[in-house]
Each structure stands twice: as structure tokens, then as C-alpha cells.
Structure 1
Amino acid sequence: MQCTGLCSAILAGSMMLFSGAVVAAQSVPQWPVTDYDTTPDIEEILGYPAGSRISSPEQIAEYFEALAEAHSDRIQLFDYGETWQGRRLFYAVISSPQNLANLSEHQSAMAALADPRQTSASEAESLIDGLPGAIWIGASVHGNEISPAEATLVTAWHLLASQAEETSQLLDNTLIYIDPLQNPDGRARFVSRYYATVGLEPSADRLAAELNEPWPNGRTNHYLFDMNRDWFALTQPESRGRVAAFLKARPLYYVDSHEMGGDSSYFFAPSAEPLNPLVTESQRESLVDLGKNNGRWFDEFGYDYFTAEIFDLFYPGYGGNWPNYSGSLATTYEMASARGHHFKQSDGQILTFADGVQRNFVAFMASIETVANNRRQLLENFYAYRQSGIEKGSQRGAVGSYILPNQRDTAGHQRLVAILAEQGVEVTRTTGNFRACGETYEAGAYVVNLAQPSHHLARVLLDPEVPLAEDFLQEQERLRANNLPDQIYDVTAWSLPHLFNLDLVTCSQSLNVAGELVDSTRIEPGYIVEGTTETDASYGYVVRWGDMNSGRLLTAALREGLRIRSADSSFTHADGREFEAGSFVLPRAGNPDNLTEVLTELTRQTGAIAEPLASSWITSGPSIGSGNFKPLPTPSIALLWDEPASVLSAGSTRYIIEQEFNYPVTAIRPAQLRSADLSAYQVLILPASGRAGAYQQALGEQGRENLSNWVARGGVLITLGNATGFVVEGEEPLLASALERKASEQAVADEYKGTSVEGRLITDTEDYQSYLVSPEAQPDWVPGIIARTEVDQEHWLTAGVHEQLYTTYIGNEIYTPLRISNGRNVVNFAGSDELLASGYLWEDNRHQIAYKPYLMVQPEGRGLVISFTQEPNLRGYQHGQFTLLLNAIFRGAAHATPLR
């Protein structure tokens, strides 16, 4: 097909059907003069023109399969995983026939460049001579960001159908990796609901039902995770598969393509401040070059865009940032979203789905061109980045190694180092005792020698503090002083050892110790300790409490119907062994005759270690038959699901219980909670809400009374984050705490009432600012820090939890402590001098948060209210909180006293 001027693969008059109505489709793609061959286009395969219908995940896969069948020499498809709902995850590689024939060799060469310890500078130059530049385009990690995924279809077709010499040169010089749909479960949810809602014709009115998604919207995956926050945490199968594929490909550029609000235009690099200090100057310059070439093409087409005003490069969990720390270049693209076929913008213009597809196509092509034109320089920069990591880790006076002593929480250490290994960070598990930086460590400690190619990634994930630039912080303080919003886009702290609540030792030596490199094994098989004539298992078995290995065994044993008793406090057996609070016993009496065989299999699956007990005789602490050695029930767990629950809080909570604890949860909507008989459930969890006060509006007084009666009869109500606000409200609150207003040492002006008020002198600027603050003002919003808390070690709710616990603090909710006559504050935030463990915190918040409760428990009738004042399940990555949540659910159910 021959085109002149701006041509289209699809005729401008193409039409599609909507419930009997006919809607014209815009021409997509448009590109300067080129010839196209007979490569099957979207309409030929899927039955509708490009940009005229939002393709389902299955249709996207179908079209890429058709392209691969038509051009097997220039496009190949590779599966990299499967979603929770069983949908396929795959990527395409498009290049010249010669490049694709040598794909495995090219990937091996990139692996060699990635390790300068094995590849000399001269060998690297030789490899670079023959290597194409690789670019990875990742589309629509948020399922309701619809145009990027569709644009990958158009881009793939253009690259394969175009007969232009320029296109041939692009294929000769680049390997183009395309992940057309990073979140197929979320997109399937969006597409199904959108087309179920559209009427006679799609509406452009932003009030239209089809442009306002119901709960949960299509942004998230099956477990309602925002996967653009999951790159280093690797909680979801989509993320794990994508990182593995990335490390195999080692692209020079990673484009993470998104959508934003419909009144915007288009965003691409360079990113906004703050930039992570571990993103190098050369990387920043290259991202500017990328943006300039994108800008040149957008100018040619007359498309608006902006850069550097939002979307920073600080938090490493974004797809548009994480690859930077492996030596690639990563950037976020954001297209204004129609969230359907048409969207009326604030200026009256109509933004279409096809507009988004076209603009993304142009951005993708411009980016491919940037890589093709700068192939050699980008490859050299990649090798130099990896080499600089080795050098930085070897510098005198610098941090040379990190040591994880593994003195507690075996499961947490195993999970943490496995996650590092999955991302290409080398970790050694020591096989003997060793001495480093003046201390002696036992065998089994983990060492991260920072003189390695993945130095920058190891630092960004493990450093206790990644500092924000001082000038940026000064600007945020200036804005806050003028009662203006800050410019911090996401959390300011994420150190993995803090999230796992593990000790990290910094050492200035570059340690090479005897040991083995760890792999990605997250759970090592557990076992039963062999007995002797003195300590056999004639009475039963005991399992120590305090990590996820024992937690998984507990839930597995409960689901097997085994009889279990758990200690409220520490105890010592007659044979001299000491056991921590929370440790649980599986006696032979009351359990199946094949208890040993059942337990052998369960320990193997869960990683736990069971120890034999010859008798029940305890020499100190509670006896196994006492009331302080609680029988553990098998609780039925309900979770409030749907509005007004936060999608992310509800999803992460369900994920942790179902996938980390391997225990079922029943999701119940608010309409049922208002009046339904809840007697079948022992535990009910209220996730954090999307907005303050929403639970009262959703449940009303009828719902409050129903929950109150259920708790009084023996239920355990667990509130997360701002859901705690619901239980402190009302004339008869379920929790005797209260939300605090903003504390101030200065007098705050009274509300203006009437025509005149009492006069007051304003003495300085600070005094003036206080005049602007309402007497009802809430504490300032904290974007996200990691805080230290102090744990009451004598309460059953904290059994197995270390005396100091790290937790993420986000928001502005601060609760008053419970009085001793009402309940217990079992975990409190540390004092103001010790509170901040990582991140940036406003000074007045630091003083007001100090000593306030993080976890409270209050008896109500025969039941309990357990309230976390912050979100313990944030992003599913706070592994150090898992034992606390297990205690709240299972030990909480054991401590309630419902009538049987």
C-alpha cells in the first residue's frame, strides 16, 4: 500500500458497532511517508480498526500470535509467567532476521557486559561492535490505562509492515522487546465493565457511568496490587516473571507506558525532582537526550507534552525507575486518558482513545530511534555503570559490605536474600564463623559484598537511608510553611531490612568470606528434629514461634484439623529447653495416630522445624494444661470488601492471608455487614478506607450496632489504618481512643464569627502563619517514612515479635493512647529522638507522633477490638509485620470467649 503525507494503515472512514450504534474510528497509525506490505492489520485479525475498540487481553495475544505466524523471522513471542487468574504473560521481540536468529547469543553478550569481573574492557569493546541496542516497551501495568497496550499492536504492525529504509535500519540496530500487557487481569476487568456499561453510543461526559469505574477499578491486578510499586518487593507473579525476563534481556532502555488524567497532555523524560542519588549523572543526561528526541517528533506532529514537573525518579519500585539501578535507563511515559472512547476535556475538546494510541505509537517509535542512533554509546555506558559498581564497593572508606547476622527470623532472612537474588544481587550465605569490622559472626550469616556489578541496586534496596537532595527538602519546607502542598510523589523510605524488621550491619571492608551464593529459593524445606531416648516425642511436638515458617505450619495444621495449644508467655521444659511466647504444642492426645507422618509433610512444605516432647512437664512458665496455654481455634475470617474500603488495603490484606498465610478469607460487602448474622465468623477485618469517615456513611448506625453486638458475643474486630477512625466514633465507641487534631505550641486564631473579633498583634512571619491555620486543622500529611516502635513484650498479642518493630507511617492520623482501664497499647511509636528510622518527616509531626499507639487492643464483652493505627499490610512488603497480624487473627480468636 502506498501512502503520501501523513498516512494511515486504516482507512479514516472505518466504522464499528456499539449496541446498534455506529461510531467513526480515527485513523491510526499516522506516520510520515512509507510503504506497507500485506502484513495482517488489526482489522483483518480482530475485526475492527486500530484505535476503534479497546482490545481484551485475549484479543491482544491473538493479534501478536498472528504477527508471529506471518513473520516468524522478524518477531518471536516468549511467555514469562501467568497471572493469578491464569492469564498468559508474554513479550514479543522484533528485529531483523539476522538479529533474531542470534537472539540467544546477543543475550549472552549482554550478560557478559553486565559482569566486568569476567569481561575485560577490550572484550567488552569487541562485544559492543556486534551487538544491537535493546529497548523494552512495557505497556499498561495499570489495567485501566488502556491506550499503551493498544499502541503496542500498532507499533508491532508498523515495524513489520513498513517497507521504508528507515524502518529496516531500526531493525538492524535494535532488539525491540514489547510487553504488550503487563496486567491482563486488570485490563480484563476494565474492558468487561466498560462495554457492559456503554449505551447506544459512548459518552464523552465525565459523569457518564462508563467513564467512572466501580470498585475495584481496573488499575490493579487480581489481588488489587498496584504493580507499579512492586518491582523490588516482588510479591506478585507478574512482577517476578517480568524481572526475570528483564534480566535475561538486559535492555538499554525501559519504557514504562502509562496514562494519567484526561485533562493533561503527554509526559516523558526527563523526570521531576527528586532524583535518587544512585541514578548517575550520565544516566540523567541520557534520559534528557531521550526526551529531546521525543519532543522533536511530538513537535512534528503538533502534539503537546511536558517534562520534569511530576513523576520523579526516587522510589525504586516503579517500572520507570527500578531498571536504572541495573545499569539500564528507565523512564515513565504518561498519556492523557480517555478512560473509554471519548472524554470531554475541561476546555471542551474531545479526547479519544485513538488519540492516545497514536501519541503512544509516536513516542514508542521515537524511543526506538533514540536507541538505534545511540547504540554504541548506550552499550558503553551500560558496561561502565556495572564497572563503576565494582569500583565503588572497593573504595577505601566507603561501605564495602552489608551483613545480615541471621540471629532471628530464619524465614524472613531466607525470603529477603531470595528477593535480592531474583533481582541479580549477589548474596553469600557463610559456611563458617568469620570476623569483620571488629565483630565475630556465626556461620549462616548473609553477606552482600558491594564490590559487585549490582552495587547500585544493592545499595538502593538495603541502605537504611536514601537521602533526598537538600535543596529539594528546603523547597518542601518553604511550601509547607506557606500552607501549600509538598511535591513528594511517593514514600521516602523503603529499606528492605527495615521492612523485614531485620538487623543490618554496615562494614567498611569488601568481604570475601567462605560460603555459597544464595538463589531464589524463598522457603527451604523444614523437618522434625530427631528424638533421642531422653527427648523423644512420646507426648507430642513443639514448634517455636516468631517467623513465617512457624506461621505457615500453624495455619496448615489448623486446616488439617490438628489440635494445637499455644503459650501466652515463655516457658521451660523439664529437659531444659526454653521456648518463646507463642510457641505451640501438638500433643498426641486428641490428634490423629499418624501425627508424625502428617507433621513431617507439613514441616517440609512450610519450612518450619518441629521438636519432640517426651512429656508435658514444664519447670517454669505456664503449664500446657493451664489457661495461659490457649487452645487455638480454626477461625473463619471475614474481610470487608467493596466501597468504602481502600482497594489497595483490602487487596494486600487478602493476599497476605491467602497467599502468605495460606488461609481462606471470605469477602463480605458492606450491605451484608449492616444487618447480616455474622455468628459464623470469629474474625472480621476492616481494611483502611479511601477517605476518612467513609465507614460510618457506608455502614450507618445499623451496621455499627450489628458489629458492636457481634464483638460483644465474642467476635474479634481488626481495624487497619484509618478504619480505626470508625471504632473511635459515635456515642458508644468500640475503642476508647480518639483522633488528635494538629498540635501547636503557638496560639491558633479562633474561627472568624460575626462581623468583628478580638484584636491580636501579629509579631512575625511564624505568628502570621499560625493565623492561617484552622483550629480544627489535622496534622500535616506525611508522604511515607519508616518509623521505630517499641513493643510490649509481655502481651500475648506481641508473642514472637522483636522488642523493636519498624513500620511505615503514611498520612496524618494520630490516635490518643488507651487508658489502662480500657485496654492496652501493645505497640507504641518511639520517642521523638528515636522515632524516624528512614525517610523525611516534618518536625512537628515527629513530636506529635512520638509515644502514640500503633497497635491497641480493647476487650468488648466476650470479644476484642484490635486496631492498627497504620496500615500493616502496605504493598504486601512489610514482612516484619506478618507475625503481628498472625497473632491478631489466630491468637486473638483464641483469647475471645464466645459462647460455644
Structure 2
Amino acid sequence: MKTSLCSLFVLFFLGGMMQAAFVSAAVSQSVQSPEAFLGYEKGERLTPHHRVMDYVTHVAENSDRVMAEPYGKTYGGRTLMLLYVSTPENLARLDEIRTNNLRRAGLLGGEATSLESKAIIWLSYNVHGNEISATEAALFTLYELATGDDTHLQNTVVIIDPLLNPDGRDRYVNWYHQTAGRQPDPYRTSREHIEPWPNARTNHYNIDLNRDWAWQTQIETRQRMAVYHQWMPHIHADFHEMGVDQPYYFAPAAEPFHVAITDWQREFQQTIGENHARHFDDDFRVYFTREIFDLFYPSYGDTYPTFNGAIGMTYEQAGNTQGGLSVITADGDTLTFARRILNQHVAGMSTVEVASMHYERVAEEFFRFFRDAAETPYAPHKTYVISGNNTPDKLQLLTSYLDAWGISYGHAPNTRSVRALDYQSLEERTISLNSQDLLISAHQPKSVLLNVLFEPRTTVVDSLTYDITAWAVPYAMGLEAFAIERRIDPAGPFSINHPVTDFSAMPEQPYAYLARWESKQDAFYLAQLLQHDIRVRFATQPFSMDGQRTWERGTLILTRRGNEQHGDRFDSVVRELADELGRELVAVNTGLVMSGRDFGSSGVPMVHAPRVALIGGPGANPNNFGEVWHFLDQELEYPHSVFEHTHLNRVNFSDFDVIILPQGGYLNQVSNQVKDDLRRWIRNGGRMITFGNAIRALDEGDQFQELRSMPEPTDEARTAQQLLRAEDRRRDAAASLITGSIYYLNLDNSHPLAFGYPEFYYSLKSGANAFEYLESGFNVGTLQAGAHRSGFQGYRVKDHIENSLIFGVQPYGRGNIVYLNDNPIFRGFWHNGALLFANAIFFVGQ
């Protein structure tokens, strides 16, 4: 009987296995390969976004190993999609796997179930639109995982984002298909290998999404990171392309590694690299490691996951904008699109394989990362205090970021004196805490990310870095902040004391309304008022109505006189917009002030709604152009016209009040007639806002700002440079560089360019150019001795940049030139400069 029952059980079990195998085989056979579904062979064509979405949807609908989840839309309206790939058993418990992962890391309350941890791998493709092999490889990796041996899926969950930047990719795909002929031309300077400005690397607004992981200024990033933080993967691989003459790059990364990176993260990068090398060696593929791509700046697709506990990696395939379908490289080889796709596919499958081989340790080390972070934070500062004296808008901005990052915070204990490092001076002093202050303890699971983003001085272990070397959040947001070397825990939840406007208590028709000028949100309010045709004045001197409250320079004054054409609608528009945007509004019944200038004074000028033009085109820095375009279009929602410099001969400049010039030497390419017209336009009252030295081509006889030359080296120094070993020359050149460092500027806040600021400003300087003070004009923001706060500064640069102009305004005829020699809206995350840029648009020259 026992034998019979046992036999029946075996027959039942085997029958079930056979049935499962049959179903699996049937499912696998119903999943088409990318070639069969798309109708062309690997590397024969470029796949546009909508066909990528068609294919991944097909796989998800026909494979029990794949689930598809749309997670958002791009600025261009294209779908963003994630694919979850694992065994059917794991997919059935997918949310349990996710929540267990967060709970075991201490990132979510509650107890994990007994289900064994799986290694969670996230593969990101095509964050740069013109690095096209990535998305194609994602399709082949998805197909193999969905239909091949599922051994490595038993203990893993693979999350695939096949296309992070659909707008950029489609821009490239459409251009290439319109440009290429019947057969690809491999000649590398033919037109199908020369992308037009601004190229397709970036998203719709020409913002580099691969530098936006931490700052989340773009809608694509915000939507992706919301899901990322719900999962917190253990391994993240970011698939890119580089120049056509390099082979393939994979981990381990190059130095410098940020000091926060753990021994385990270094070790497993090596393990992954060795696994890749084994597969690449099998087919004699050429590759390199430990060069160029470091792990320092925290807003990349490798570093941000790293500081969130993952093994974060960049993979780089030769190709990029010059790759096309085939291209002849410098060594005479023909690099095909098919080969590029295959290399990316091999690296992706190897990543899944090595994660599966070590899944238990991968998961345990991930959990240990967060336990260690909470128990023994690596950095000297254990507590960060953000003063309650900061404006509500700044505190709101900060807390929205902390929430997005998953960093815990609360309010400080009351009336407690402690020694703290002041970010402003970088000196220690005694401060008194109170319950209005926001306090962040480093004793929390997200301690590593917190310390990396808030460290007052970055520890630059190597001058040869790939990106900027300073980014501290208190400087980027212009916060009064302190760092403390002892642990202090929050005393309770933090809340912001937003000023509340009681509209019901206001007189029905006051003489005027007053609104503060302190933040980008205030500039947005002004932009909306102007678009509703509300006439707005602004204060050029502090004033007081009652001898108690002082209204600072820049205060918006909305008088009834001048807005009579709106009738009662004046009050409803002003109040409704203020309520919608959370602006404090104060009603007053007189234009007579106790101190300062009365509302009818010439010192309270009108803001004439500026007609704004933005110039771009070949030679203009596409990132800076994009930062300005995004600021105008998305952050201010203010009307503007965009022109390429090649069409300026068709523009009637008198139709505009403000022209904005992004960085670049593109005005050298315009005709002399256009240059004359632009100079005449400024002299007749136009306001030219120029980033860096973009206006130089218009200069006649050194009328504009003067670029300071680097001092000539002494004969002894020149000889020493000439005798340098070849391997030392790149490092020596870094002595003349500034690689994205933070400086304290002295600010003349009595000038309209600096309204709304204290007498100082933190500036991110991304180059060593220095400009002399204006002889006839206003030196509004200046860099003086002792200004350096954080980041790498070459020793030859220090004296060169001292006592130089950063922000200035030069009268030119009846118009003005606004010089922005540091970028006040750098990558959209330098929030401290947004109001200054708004001042340049709305206030200067009014």
C-alpha cells in the first residue's frame, strides 16, 4: 500500500512537472523574438519608442515570467515602462518580495515574512537618447529571460527599464531614418554620423537625465525614482555608449571612489567585472575597466544607487552619436550596430547570472549596508540642523527632497545649546536649538545618502574626476544650516509654519496688496499675475507700513490704481492666484508708508511684462540652453520665443524686451548686420542676459566685460612643466582647473539683480574663467579672498579667480547687459540661484 501510494505520488508529481513544462514551452513558443516581431534582423534598423512598447507588451502578455507596468509619461507624452522578470512563483509573490526587501533593510515598518530574499537587479537602458544600442539590447535580454533557461530567475527578480529617455531616443531615431540611405554609410564624417544641434542625448528640454538621479528636476526622473524607492534594488546597471574608438567598459569603476562606498561594494564590482570578462573573453571581445568612469558625483545612474546600498555600475559600449548602423573606427575596423547590441546583451545577462550565483550574500550585504548606516554613520557629522529662520518656501523645498530621498527628519529639541559647524563660515560656533528648527539625524538607514548630499566639504581623493566635485544641499538651496558631530535625535514630527492669509478678513477693495519676494515661487506668482494682465509694482527700498514689519526690496505691490480695467476681477484674480500658489497676501488701505518710499514714488517702478527671447543653435551649450528653456517653460510657465542664431536675420528684435544668451561662441557665426542690430537693440533699451562670455562676439573695442588671462608661469615653472613625464601631464593640467566647486560671493542686495537675497550667495563655479570688475556698471556678485567652500580647486587657480566678477549689470545706452558668469540655474538643482535669474528677467532695467 505504501509502495502504491508512493507510486501514485510520483506519477502525480511527474505528471504535474510535465504539464508545467508543456505550458511553459507553449508560452515560450508564443513569445516572438525581437526579429520576428519587429520584422528585421538585429542591428538592421533602429527601433522607435512605440515599437519598443509594442514588443515589451507582447512579451508580457505571452510570458508567465514577465509583468509590465507603465509608470509615467515623458514631457513629450511617451509612455515609460518597467518590466518585472522572474519565475511565475516569484511573480505571484512580487509585492511580498518587495516589502520584505524594504523591511529587512529597515526602510519600511513591520516584520518581513519567512519568504527567502531574492537578489533584486534593476537594468536601465538608454538614459541618453542617442546611445541607441542600449534599448535594442534590452529587447534581446528580455526575450532570453522570458524564454530561456530560468535557473537564474529562481532566486532573482530582474527589473528592466528598456527606455529611460523616449523623447531623446525618438529624436535620434527619426533623424537617422530621415538621413540614412538604403545602405548604411560607415564613413564617420558622412551626414548620418553628424547629429544636428542640440543632438538627442538629452530629454525634451535638453536636460541630461543621467545627471538628474538625485535632483529629480525632470518629470521622467521623478516618476522613475518614485518606483525605484519602492523597490530599492541590490544591483543597478546603467547601459550607455561612448566614443566609437573605444571598445566596451564595465565595472569595476575608476577612482576616485567616494569615501562612503563600502568595501563590499568595491569587492562585488570586482566580482561582477570578472564574470563579464569571462564571457567577453570567450568570444575575444575587447574591453577595459577601472578607467574614466568614477564613483563620486552622487547624481548618476551608478552613484545614486550606490549611495542607496546597491552595487551601482555604468556599462559603456562604443557607438554613441557617431555610431549609426556601422562606422569605421580609427583602427580601420567596422563597428556594426549588431555587434554593439550583442555586447550590451552579454553584459546584461552576465549581470543577472552573477547576481543569481551570489544572491544570498548580495541580499545580506544590502541589508547590512543600512544597519551599519544607522548604527555607525561613516561621516564625522552625526546631525544636521536647518534653521527655522529659513523661509517657508526653502523649508518646503528641502522637505520635499528629503521625502523623495526617503530621509527621515523631525524638529529639534527646544532650547539646547550645542557646538556646530556653520555652513556659511565653515567655522564652529555655539548655536541654540529650538523646536522651529528642522533636525536630521545621521543615525538612520539612509545615513550614507544623507551624509553624501549634506557634507559641508567633499573629500576629494583624486583631482582627476569625471564631473563636479561639490553639491552640498544647504549651499544649493541657500539654507542657513549647521553640522554637528554628536548625535541628536528629532524631538517630534516637523511642520512648516506657512503664513496663512485670511481672505475673509480682508477689506473688499483695499488700496493695494503686498506680496513678499523671497523665492522662485514668488517669481512664479509674479509670472502668473503678468499673464493675467495685472499691473504690478515692486519696491526698490525696504519699507514699513506700521513701524513693525519691514517689507524688503523686491516686495510686489499690487495697487488698485492702474488695474481699474479689471473691475472686481482684480481682487478675485490676485486672491485666487495667491491662494492657489500658497502666497501670503497682505491688504493695505493706503499708499503712504511710515518708512521707505510711498507707492506712487518713482522708486516703486512698474514691472512691465517682458517679452522674452531665448537664443540657441549650433555652438550654443545645449545643456545651458535647456536649463533656461525648462526654467521659462516649466518652472515659471512664462511665454517666450525660441530662435536659433541661424535665423536671427529674420527677427525683429524690437518685438522683445529681454534676450537670453546661453553659453557658447555661436554669435561669432552671425552676420555683421545681425551683430549691429543686437547692439542697437540694447542701446535702445533692450536687456541682454548673457551666460558666461556668450556676448563676446558683439564686443567692439573692449566695451563689455573683460576676461582675465591666467598668469604666465615663471621660467622655472615652465621648464618643470616641459620636463613632466607623460603620465603626469593630465594631473598637472588639473592644477589650473575648477571642477564644479562652491564659493561664497559677496552680494550687493541693494541692486535689483540681487533683490530677495542676503548680502551673500553660494555659487557653483564650473570653470576657471575669471572676469575683471566692471569699470562702468554694477558689480553685484563678486568672488573675493577666502571664498572657497567645497570641491576641487587647482592650486594655480586660487589667486587667479580672487577679486573677480561673477554677476554684474552694465548699462549700455538705454539698455542693460546682465552678466551671469556662473550659472545660477545649473542643471536645475542649484535652486539658490533661481530667484536671481528671475530678477534678471523681471526687475533689472525696469
**TM-score with structure 2 setting the length:** 0.90
What is the CA-CA distance between 1:98 and the residue it aligns to? Answer: 0.3
Task: Give 1:886's aligned residue.
Answer: 838
Q: CA deviation at 1:414?
A: 1.2
Structure 2 vs 1, CA of residues 687 and 526 (structure 1 numbering), >3 Å: closer, same or farther?
Answer: farther
1:367 aligns with 2:351: yes
The Cα shift of 1:116 comes to 7.3
Equivalent pairs counted in the alignment come to 799
Q: Name 1:847's counterpart in structure 2.
A: 799
CA distance in 2, matches of 1:142, 1:525: 40
State the distance in 2 between where 1:526 and 1:355 align: 61
State the AA in 2 paired with 1:466. T
Offset, 1:815: 1.1
Which of 687, 706, 720 is the matching residue for 1:738?
A: 706
- Displacement after TM superposition at 1:612 (Å): 1.5
1:455 aligns with 2:447: yes
Deviation >4 Å, runs of 4+: 116-119, 429-438, 523-527, 529-533, 761-764, 766-769
CA distance in 2 between partners of 1:38 and 1:170 (Å):
21
Residue of structure 1 aligned with 2:501, choices 528, 531, 536: 528
- The answer to whether the 8 A contact 1:38-1:161 is kept is no
Give secondary structure in 2 for the equivalent of 1:175. strand
1:56 and 2:28 equivalent?
no
1:640-678 CA distance string (max 9 Å, x none): 021221100000011112212221221011133246311
Match of 2:10 in 1: none
2:581 maps to which of 601, 606, 623? 606
Provide the residue aligned with 1:4 in structure 2.
none
Match of 2:595 in 1: 620
**Correspondences of 1:751-790 after superposition (within 5 Å):** 765=720, 780-790=736-746
| SS of match in other structure, 1:448 | strand
Note if 1:189 corresponds to 2:164: no
Residues 1:345 and 2:326 are matched in the alignment? no
- AA in 1 matched with 2:594: T
Structure 1: tracts of 5 or more residues without a match: 1-34, 474-486, 749-760, 895-900
Amino acid across the alignment from 1:626: S
How far, CA to CA, are the matches of 2:360 and 2:509 in structure 1? Answer: 67
- Contact 1:799–1:887, Cα closer than 8 Å, also in 2: yes
Cα deviation 1:16-68 (Å, max 9, x = unaligned) = xxxxxxxxxxxxxxxxxxx9745211233222123221100111000001101
Residue 710 in 1 paired to residue 681 in 2? yes
Give the aligned CA root-mean-square deviation in angstroms: 2.6
Is contact 2:617-2:666 (8 Å) kept? Answer: no
Within a 5 Å distance, the mapping from 1:322-333 to structure 2 comes to 322-333=304-315
SS in 1 for 2:707: coil
- Secondary structure of 2:158's counterpart equals strand
User: C-alpha deviations, 1:787-823, integer Å up to 9, x for none?
Assistant: 111101221221111211111111232111111xx21
Pick aligned residue for 1:828 from 758, 761, 782:
782
**Which residue does 1:864 correspond to in 2?**
816
Give the aligned partner of residue 103 of structure 1: 94
8 A contact 1:688–1:723 mirrored in 2: yes
CA distance in 1, matches of 2:341, 2:595: 71
Contact residue 234 and residue 366 of structure 2 kept, 8 A? yes
Aligned to 1:283: 265
Q: 1:632 aligns with which of 574, 596, 607?
A: 607
Are the equivalent residues in 2 in contact too, given 1:657–1:664 (CA < 8 A)? yes
1:187-222 alpha-carbon deviations (Å, 9 max, x no partner): 010000001101232110111111110011110001
The equivalent of 1:489 in structure 2 is: 466
1:719 match: secondary structure: strand
**Pair 789,441 (structure 1): closer, same or farther in 2 beyond 3 Å:** same
- The aligned residue for residue 21 of structure 1 is none
Q: Determine if contact 1:741/1:779 at 8 Å carries over to the other structure.
A: no
Partner of 2:204: 222
**Does the aligned pair in 1 maintain the 2:457–2:791 contact within 8 Å?**
yes
Asked if 1:569 is matched to 2:521, the reply is no
Secondary structure, aligned partner of 2:360: helix
- Structure 1 residue corresponding to 2:660, chosen from 685, 691, 697: 685
**TM-score normalized by the length of structure 1:** 0.85
- Per the alignment, residue 245 of structure 1 pairs with 227
Q: Please list, as runs of the form range in 1=range in 2, the aligned pairs for 1:83-122 lying within 5 A after superposition.
A: 83-115=74-106
Q: Helix, strand or coil for the counterpart of 1:515?
A: coil
Cα distance change of structure 1 residues 427 and 351 upon mapping to structure 2, 3 Å threshold? same
Name 1:837's counterpart in structure 2.
789
Q: In structure 1, how many angstroms separate the alpha carbons of the residues matched to 2:708 and 2:679?
A: 24
Q: In the alignment, what sits opposite 1:752?
A: none
Q: 1:514 to 1:598 in 2, by over 3 A?
A: farther
Separation in 2, partners of 1:103, 1:862 = 66
Task: Choose 507-516 or 285-294, whichever is displaced more.
Answer: 507-516
Aligned residue number for residue 725 of structure 1: 696
427-436 or 447-456: bigger deviation: 427-436
Q: Would you say 1:558 and 2:530 are equivalent positions?
A: yes
**2:707 counterpart letter in structure 1:** L
Offset at residue 247 of structure 1 (A): 1.2
The residue that corresponds to 1:11 in the other structure is: none
Aligned to 1:132: 118
Identity over aligned pairs, percent: 31
* Counterparts of 1:658 and 1:445, CA distance in 2: 34
For residues 526 and 370 of structure 1, do their structure 2 counterparts lie closer, same or farther at Cα, with a shift above 3 Å needed?
Answer: farther
User: Is contact 2:127-2:165 (8 Å) kept?
Assistant: yes
Q: How many angstroms does 1:436 deviate by?
A: 5.1
C-alpha distance in 2, partners of 1:659/1:430?
35
Does the Cα contact within 8 Å between 1:673 and 1:706 map onto a contact in 2? no
Taking structure 1 as reference, are residues 117 and 257 closer, same or farther at Cα in structure 2, changes over 3 Å only?
A: closer
Q: Distance in 2 between matches of 1:433 and 1:224?
A: 48
Amino acid at match of 2:147: A
The corresponding residue for 1:479 is none
Say yes or no: does 1:383 pair with 2:361. no
What is the Cα deviation at residue 442 of structure 1? 4.2
Note the alpha carbon deviations across 1:698-725, whole angstroms, 9 max, x for none: 2242222111111111110000123143
Selected match of 1:874 from 804, 826, 831: 826
Gap change, CA 1:732 and 1:412, over 3 Å in 2: same
Q: What does residue 142 of structure 2 align with? A: 156
Q: Is the 8 A contact 2:520 2:838 kept in 1?
A: no
In the TM superposition, 1:461-476 aligns within 5 A as: 461-469=453-461, 472-473=462-463
Once the two structures are TM-superposed, the CA of residue 260 in structure 1 deviates from its matched residue by 0.3
* Alignment match, 2:129: 143
Q: Distance in 1 between matches of 2:89 and 2:497?
A: 43
Asked if structure 2 preserves the Cα contact closer than 8 Å seen for 1:527 and 1:609, the reply is yes
Aligned to 1:22: none
Structure 1 residue 357 displacement after superposition: 0.7
Tell me how far apart the structure 1 counterparts of residues 633 and 451 of structure 2 sit (CA, whole Å).
Answer: 32
> What 5-or-longer segments of structure 2 have no aligned partner?
1-26, 420-429
C-alpha contact (below 8 Å) 2:737/2:793 kept by paired residues: no
Distance in 2, matches of 1:762 and 1:112, equals 59
Offset, 1:873: 2.2
Could you say what secondary structure the match of 1:40 adopts? coil
- Identify the residue that residue 484 of structure 2 maps to in structure 1: 507
SS for the counterpart of 2:693 is helix
Q: Structure 1: which amino acid aligns with 2:338?
A: A
SS at match of 1:644: coil
- Residues 334 and 275 of structure 1: is their aligned pair in 2 closer, same or farther, counting only changes over 3 Å? same
Distance 1:674 1:412, change over 3 A: farther
Cα distance in 1 between the residues matched to 2:718 and 2:490: 63
Q: Which residue of 1 aligns with 2:550?
A: 578
Corresponding letter in the other structure for 1:718:
I
Over residues 209-249 of structure 1, what are the superposed CA-to-partner deviations in whole Å (9 max), with x where a residue is unaligned? Answer: 11110011110001101111111111001111121111112
- Kindly tell me: are residues 605 and 530 of structure 1, through their superposed partners in 2, closer, same or farther at Cα, counting changes over 3 Å? closer
* One-letter amino acid of the counterpart of residue 479, structure 2: L
Are 1:74 and 1:160, in contact at CA under 8 Å, matched by a contact in 2?
yes
Q: Secondary structure at the match of 1:207?
A: coil
Q: Partner amino acid for 1:717?
A: M
Q: Deviation string for 1:607-648 (max 9, x for gaps)?
A: 321112121111221221111101001111100021221100
